[in-house]
Amino acid sequence: MKLWYSPPSPFVRKVLMLAHETGLIDKIELVDVTNTALTPDVDLAKLNPLGKIPTLVLDDGHTLFDSRVISEYLDGVHDGEKLLPADGMGRYNVLVCQAMGDGIMETAVAIRYEQALRPAEHQWDVWMDAQQKKIVQALDVLETWRAGRLQDMHLGSISVASALSYLDFRQPDFNWREGRPVLTQMLATFSERESMKKTKPE
């Protein structure tokens, strides 16, 4: 299977971390793509009309997106312990955890686009501050979750780890660790794993 990707994308990283954790990484061929909302890659757009990465093309020609769908697919095709429980509240807890991580990523990526793609004279500080507030609120709630819910290895904690690491990468001046020892410890623990070390963007 082929994964259309770019190393800085936190959604790509989530999928790659899952591929490492499940032993599937060697079955995935990576297609590096330069793609932004303003300069979409034409070949990617033929596969995914939303023009977003990650996009996964299976050996039988099926195309899967977005990162949630790809993650669920990959978790379904390995023989090890599942990272998304099949049913019950455990499944929904993991999905909500993923929604928190993905939501932080979506918001941080939106701020990044505002800063990197929009001409400086059109950038809207009020909007960016409102987006940043969502990130702060989400982090404050995650900090209150019982440790196991975040420290255990599952799709949700992978998403949160990718989101926290993306904040370090794109918002180095935002000291999200201050007053958040649970999240600080969580990312420190995850960062020891090969799945994070091997997917760290330059």
Ligand X SMILES: N[C@@H](CCC(=O)N[C@@H](CS)C(=O)NCC(=O)O)C(=O)O
Residue 83 makes contact with ligand X by CB under 6 A = no
Pick from 22, 25, 51, 195: which binds ligand X (CB under 6 A)? 51
The correct pick among 7, 23, 27, 37 for binding ligand X (CB under 6 A) is 37
Least Cβ distance, residue 102 to ligand X (angstroms): 6
* CA atoms of 184 and 164, how far apart (whole Å): 9
Q: Tell me the two tokens of residue 112.
A: 């990044």
Q: Do 75 and 84 form a contact (C-beta atoms < 8 A)? A: yes
- Nearer Cβ to ligand X (10/180): 10
- Four-residue CA torsion sign, 74, 103, 167, 43: positive
When the beta carbons of 70 and 139 are compared against ligand X, the nearer one is: 70
Query: In angstroms, what is the minimal distance from the CB of 200 to ligand X?
Result: 15
Task: Point out which span in 35-43, 72-80, 85-93, 167-175 binds ligand X (CB under 6 A).
Answer: 35-43
Binding of ligand X by 9 (CB under 6 A): yes
Q: Exactly one of 4, 19, 54, 183 binds ligand X (CB under 6 A); which one?
A: 54
Q: Which of residues 86-125 bind ligand X (CB under 6 A)?
A: 102, 109
Rounded CA-CA distance 26/173 in Å is 36
What does each C-alpha distance from 58 to 76, 105, 143 come to in angstroms?
A: 14, 25, 37
- The C-alpha atoms of residue 101 and residue 141 are separated, in whole angstroms, by 12
Taking CB under 6 A as the binding criterion, the range among 45-53, 118-126, 143-151, 177-185 that sits at the site for ligand X is: 45-53
Using CA atoms, how far apart are residues 111 and 116, in angstroms rounded to an integer?
9
Take residue 29 and report the two structure tokens written for it.
């061929």
Query: Considering the rule CB under 6 A, would residue 67 count as an interface residue with ligand X?
Result: yes
**Is 165 one of the binding residues for ligand X (CB under 6 A)?**
no
- Residue from 17, 20, 35, 155 that binds ligand X (CB under 6 A)? 35
Q: Which residues contact 24 (CB under 8 A, 6 or more apart)?
A: 18, 74, 77, 78
Question: Which positions touch ligand X (CB under 6 A)?
Answer: 9, 11, 35-37, 40, 51-54, 66-68, 102, 109
